[in-house]
Amino acid sequence: MTLPTPPPVSDLTYGQYQGWNCCWCNARLTGGAVPAGIAQGASGAHDLSMQVYACRICVSQSPRSRS
């Protein structure tokens, strides 16, 4: 299963950045979170990229997950 590229770090909310919320719909991840990939970002020479997570609903509705 291939998921779409996560949004950049600069577009994430605090909850999404912390891994508490889905990186696409911002739903609270209370259980069953799926790794969604690496959100890319930088501030000058500092790499802010990090692993983000998605809810199962967004993963199941992803057009790429059906192929």
| Residues 13, 19 contacting (CB under 8 angstroms) | no
Q: How far apart are CA 55 and CA 39, in angstroms?
A: 16
Evaluate if residue 8 carries a pLDDT over 60: yes
Global pTM?
0.83
Q: How far apart are CA 43 and CA 57, in angstroms?
A: 32
Q: Tens digits of per-residue pLDDT, 13-66?
A: 999 999 999 999 999 999 889 999 999 999 999 999 999 999 999 988 876 544
Higher pLDDT, 8 or 63: 8
Q: What pLDDT shows up at residue 61?
A: 84
Give me the amino acid identity at 16. Answer: Q
